[in-house]
Amino acid sequence: SRALSISTIILALVHIFQLSSGQSPPLRGDKEIVCFVYHRFNDNRYPSTNISASVFDKQLAYLAENGFTVMALGDAVNWLKSSSDNNKKVVVLTIDDGFKSFYNYGFPLLQKYGFDATLFINTYHIGHKDYMSWEQLKEVSRAGIEVGCHSHKHEHFLNMSDQEMLSEFRADLEKFKAAMKEKLGIRSDAYSYPFGEFNAQLALIVKNSGFRVACAQNSGVINKNSDLFSIPRYPMGGIHATLVGFMEKSNMHALPVKSEEPESTIFTKNPPELVLCLEPNTIDTDQLQCFIHGDRECIVMTDDNEDCQVVRIRSMRKLKRRRTLYTITAPRLDGKGWCWYSRLWINPEVEE
């Protein structure tokens, strides 16, 4: 969108000045975590999920030169729950699938800057073409990279009947755990849903299976009110894999959401309506923007009361994709930047 592009350009110019002058962006104040997701590095065969190593290098340099603390996801969650270091600017770098390109290009750059990260793997594919080997996984794990679960076989579980979905999902988790214990001798605390798809039942199974956090593929910022079993992550692949976009998102804030309706990611009415209850007197609703896959095709209604700033969002058209994001941005009233939030909708009847 034009409005978002202008704000991105302005923010980039501010950061370029800060980099050249040695200044760092202001600290966040409240505890927040900005999380990114990567897939492939220097692999032009799959442009939509790829980032060039040179751009990744510049992104890491930006973090190193501007006072960010880069943590593995598990450590970041521990920090979020703790009562200390409120002013840290925490960023988490996650990598899905365990492709060889991460080992060849991404991992060496993380070592160059001394940064931790979380690598989500699907154990069925380890050692296959384009995927890392178990020996390579041992190496990155010993170097401090957190290895998380991206399922065993990376299935479309939501395509199954309810009974089959629950049975297959539990069995898939057990296969992952067994492979990790046998090959790496470790257990994983973090989960990443295949294709970013999940519902309340799958999230509960993940939680009851001993995982402490689970990642989706909607974008946004993590804060104290976030559901730790639907963690948002900004994608860094294809058109999103830029230095300017990375700089902008690294300094985003969480939209102050107190509650949302409906809870389910699976919608029954098309187009679905999202109702957000926000902390009152925190954002400028007059400048609130809504996007659906980059287009401003949203109907937005707001209503203020003492306890809640209500925002209702609905697409102008029926949703035709399997996965659709409602993305909302708005400036903070205190002038300390912009807030970002996105909501994932899933239609399992649409084939991938």
3-state secondary structure of 152: coil
Q: Which tokens in the block code for residue 120?
A: 């989500």
Q: Among residues of the chain, what percentage have pLDDT more than 70?
A: 92
Please answer whether residues 75 and 214 qualify as being in contact, where contact means their C-beta atoms are separated by less than 8 angstroms. Answer: no
Distance, in Å, from the CA atom of 161 to the CA atom of 159, rounded to the nearest integer, reads 7
The answer to whether 72 and 116 have CB atoms below 8 angstroms apart is yes
- Indicate whether 20 pLDDT > 90: no
Q: What is the largest CA-CA distance in the chain?
A: 59
Nearest-5° Cα angle at 170, 166 to 175: 145
Instruction: Report the pLDDT value the prediction gives residue 83, as an integer from 0 to 100.
Output: 85
Handedness of CA 6, 11, 17, 20 (dihedral sign): negative
Q: Is the preceding omega at residue 232 within 30 degrees of 0, hence cis?
A: no
Residue 333 dihedral angles phi and psi, to the nearest 5°: -70, -25
Give the residue-averaged pLDDT of 116-145.
97
Token couple for 191: 């989960």
21 band by pLDDT with thresholds 50, 70 and 90: very low
Q: How do strand 323-331 and strand 289-292 relate by DSSP bridges?
A: antiparallel
Question: Smallest Cα–Cα separation from 190: which of 233, 157, 223?
Answer: 233
Is residue 10 over pLDDT 90?
no
Centre a 10 Å sphere on the Cβ of residue 177 and count the other Cβ atoms it contains.
17
Question: For residue 262, is the peptide bond before it cis, meaning its omega torsion is within 30 degrees of 0?
Answer: yes
User: pLDDT band for position 11 (50/70/90)?
Assistant: very low
Residue found by looking up tokens 């299976």 in the block: 209
| Mean pLDDT, residues 315-319 taken together | 95
Tens of pLDDT, residues 196-216: 999 999 999 999 999 999 999
Mean of pLDDT values over 12-24: 44
CB 76 within 8 A of CB 92: yes
